[in-house]
């Protein structure tokens, strides 16, 4: 069925306002009508209907009765106010096999209803044009043009890469054969076009240009224009009959049709990118349905990694979305151009991308991340850091993977070689960062003798914390630790003895030593915690 599909509709609305709770039939469902559910009237619900559950809450009996009435190819929309409602709706939709959307309270039902009706009315993505050629099918257009012009046709994009060609029984010269096999014209032909000024003429001319290459058939070529932009090029080679003015007129007409299709294709690609971005953003927040995310992002049955990028902004708030756009476009371009397609989104001042991997490409995410940070520095004049998660097997792991890469990015940048951190190569740092996070969430775990030591430093000017940190950093080497804090090893040894006698922190006890090292890491990474400790009397142990 031609028209609006659920994935296109989601791309139009945006993931900030709508996300998928459950979709057992995928996102390629047609959306052909929008209905308002009325509990007082038994409305007929048909496949392809988008049913708005206005006034229904997850706990209402009518919500479950409505879910039980529909098939998977009907779409239900409910307002969801909190995680408890989302969990309830998800459980009901899974029980009844229903396709359900969660609508943000910030979007009014009137807005959603109006947008759905307008989208359904204007959707004609699969309708043929006046020639009978389906919109978006450039190969069909090339065949149609070849039949009219009685010569083989090739359609290139704006970078001169072949995107479609006719497949009728026409003669093939070397230029056409190379173009089809390698998706680009031969280098010698391109050099000849540039040296003779053919391509600049084509870009400037509003009518087709005749091209007579030294080693190929005569051709007509015209630019495919979208306003003032060059969208691509349309070529026809001379075959059975000489290409005349009538041929040029037909080629120009075909170029106008190709422009509409290329513009529609670009719009479709933009919507697809936006939908994939919204799905990934919701998955990172733990809101999306894992099965839908895996299917739509191409993660079914594959392993993948999450890569995060953040601009260097020491001491500054996270950048707003418009500031992130150039970097997000760069990441999307590189990820989209890679051998394996991923998804890209921005959230809270960071950019995240999924990247499928296999046994043959274990180092590809790290290589790609290094190239992106380098390009950001050279082209955008922006310092960027990146972090790569461990290997993931399910979209349900994305929220936890996000926390893991965020922790890696919170680590101090010790040197330029650590601009790209991989979880696999930074396991110790990652574990210590997560344990520190747990300590911060549970302040009682920072109590004890070491907290008293920190209070002493704060209130009395002692240097116990710095001495203990130097001792740990030096791996217990008193000479190296003393050098780090500019005291003799014996002075440092005396300080450690005082820490044991006064605060009860015995570094000869393995358990106490481990806890002390974790607490020192937390107080060092977050000096504001030192100010929050209450003054306490110090009693020798």
- Asked if 23 contacts 99 with a C-beta cutoff of 8 angstroms, the reply is yes
Paired tokens of 144: 């149609």
Q: Which residue has the higher pLDDT, 472 or 183?
A: 472
Binned at pLDDT 50, 70 and 90, residue 354 comes out as very high
**HEC per residue, 379-432:** HCCCCEEEEECCCECCHHHHHHHHHHHHHHHHCCCCCHHHCEEEHHHCHHHHHH
Could you report the per-residue pLDDT of 53-86, keeping only the tens digit for each?
888 888 888 888 888 888 888 999 999 988 889 9
Amino acid 79: pLDDT = 92
Q: What is the chain's mean pLDDT, rounded?
A: 83
pTM beyond 0.75, yes or no: no
Closest by CA position to 33, among listed 93, 92, 120, 159 = 120
Binned at pLDDT 50, 70 and 90, residue 414 comes out as low
Tracing tokens 């607490």 back to the chain, one arrives at 519
Alpha-carbon distance 86 to 212, whole Å?
65
Paired tokens of 530: 């030192």
Q: Once rounded to an integer, what is the mean pLDDT over residues 385-413?
A: 87
Give start and end residues of each alpha helix (H) in 21-173.
61-69, 83-96, 109-122, 138-149
Binned at pLDDT 50, 70 and 90, residue 337 comes out as low
Beta strands 209-211 and 384-388, pairing class: unpaired
Alpha-carbon distance 374 to 383, whole Å?
9
Task: Give Cα 16 distance to the centre of its chain.
Answer: 15
Binned at pLDDT 50, 70 and 90, residue 127 comes out as very low
Paired tokens of 361: 């490409």
Amino acid 458: pLDDT = 85
3-state helix, strand, coil in the chain (%, to 5): 50, 15, 35
Residue 155 has pLDDT above 70, yes or no: yes
Please list, in sequence order, all residues whose beta carbon lies within 8 angstroms of the beta carbon of residue 212, skipping any fewer than 6 positions away.
218, 219
Burial category of 531 from C-beta neighbours within 10 Å (exposed 0-12, middle 13-18, buried 19 and up): exposed
Could you report the per-residue pLDDT of 457-506, keeping only the tens digit for each?
888 888 888 899 899 888 889 899 889 889 999 998 998 998 888 888 88
Could you report the per-residue pLDDT of 297-332, keeping only the tens digit for each?
878 888 899 999 999 876 667 777 667 888 888 888
Distances (CA, A) of 153 to 162, 185, 531: 11, 13, 74
Could you report the per-residue pLDDT of 228-243, keeping only the tens digit for each?
788 899 999 998 888 9
CA dihedral 186, 189, 193, 196 (to 10 degrees): 150
Q: Once rounded to an integer, what is the mean pLDDT over residues 178-194?
A: 86
Amino acid 183: pLDDT = 80
Q: Which residue has the higher pLDDT, 438 or 199?
A: 199
Alpha-carbon distance 451 to 273, whole Å?
50
Paired tokens of 533: 């400790």
Q: Which residue has the higher pLDDT, 29 or 430?
A: 29
Residue-range domains of the chain with CATH: 6-122 (3.40.1390), 138-265 (3.30.450.40), 297-438 (3.30.70.270), 442-532 (1.10.10.2840)
Binned at pLDDT 50, 70 and 90, residue 224 comes out as very high
């Amino acid at each position: 069925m031609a028209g609006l599909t659920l994935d296109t509709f989601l791309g139009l609305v945006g993931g900030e306002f709508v996300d998928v709770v459950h979709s057992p039939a995928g996102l390629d469902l047609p959306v052909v009508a929008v209905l308002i559910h009325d509990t007082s009237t038994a409305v007929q619900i048909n496949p392809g209907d988008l049913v708005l559950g206005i006034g229904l809450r997850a706990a209402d009996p009518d919500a479950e009765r409505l879910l039980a009435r529909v098939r998977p190819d009907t779409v239900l929309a409910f307002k969801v106010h909190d995680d408890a409602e989302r969990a309830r709706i998800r459980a009901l939709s899974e029980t009844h096999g229903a396709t359900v959307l969660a609508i943000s309270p910030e979007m009014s039902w009137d807005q959603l209803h109006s947008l759905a009706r307008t989208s359904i009315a204007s959707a004609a993505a699969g309708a043929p044009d006046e020639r009978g050629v389906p919109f978006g099918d450039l190969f069909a257009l090339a065949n149609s043009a070849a039949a009219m012009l009685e010569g083989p046709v090739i359609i290139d994009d704006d970078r001169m890469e072949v995107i479609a060609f006719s497949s009728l029984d026409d003669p093939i010269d070397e230029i056409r054969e190379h173009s089809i096999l390698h998706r680009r014209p031969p280098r010698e032909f391109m050099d000849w076009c540039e040296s003779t000024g053919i391509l600049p003429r084509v870009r400037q001319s509003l009518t087709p240009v005749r091209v007579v290459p030294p080693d190929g058939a005569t051709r007509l070529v015209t630019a495919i224009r979208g306003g003032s932009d060059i969208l691509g090029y349309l070529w026809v080679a001379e075959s059975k009959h000489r290409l005349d003015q009538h041929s040029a007129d037909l080629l120009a007409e075909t170029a106008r049709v190709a422009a509409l299709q290329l513009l529609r294709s670009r719009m479709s690609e933009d919507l697809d990118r936006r939908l994939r971005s919204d799905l990934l953003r919701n998955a990172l927040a733990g809101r999306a349905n894992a099965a839908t995310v895996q299917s739509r992002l191409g993660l079914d049955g594959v392993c993948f990694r999450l890569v995060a990028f953040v601009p260097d902004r020491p001491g500054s708030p996270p950048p707003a979305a418009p500031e992130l756009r150039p970097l997000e476009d760069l990441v999307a371009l590189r990820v989209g151009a890679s051998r394996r397609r991923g998804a890209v989104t921005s959230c809270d001042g960071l950019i995240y991308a999924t990247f499928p991997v296999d046994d043959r490409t274990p180092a590809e995410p790290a290589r790609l991340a290094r190239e992106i940070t380098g390009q950001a520095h050279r082209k955008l004049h922006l310092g960027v850091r990146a972090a790569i998660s461990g290997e993931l097997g399910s979209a349900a792991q994305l929220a936890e993977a996000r926390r893991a890469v965020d922790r890696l990015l919170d680590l101090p940048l010790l040197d330029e070689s650590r601009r790209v951190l991989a979880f696999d190569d930074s396991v110790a740092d990652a574990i210590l960062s997560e344990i520190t996070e747990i300590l911060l969430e549970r302040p009682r775990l920072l109590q004890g003798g070491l907290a008293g030591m920190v209070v002493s430093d704060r209130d009395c000017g002692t240097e116990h914390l710095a001495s203990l940190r130097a001792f740990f950093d030096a791996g217990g080497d008193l000479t190296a630790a003393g050098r780090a804090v500019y005291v003799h090893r014996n002075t440092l040894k005396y300080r450690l003895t005082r820490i044991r006698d006064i605060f009860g922190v015995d570094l000869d006890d393995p358990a106490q030593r481990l806890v002390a090292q974790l607490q020192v890491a937390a107080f060092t990474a977050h000096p504001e915690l030192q100010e929050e400790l209450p003054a306490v009397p110090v009693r020798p142990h």
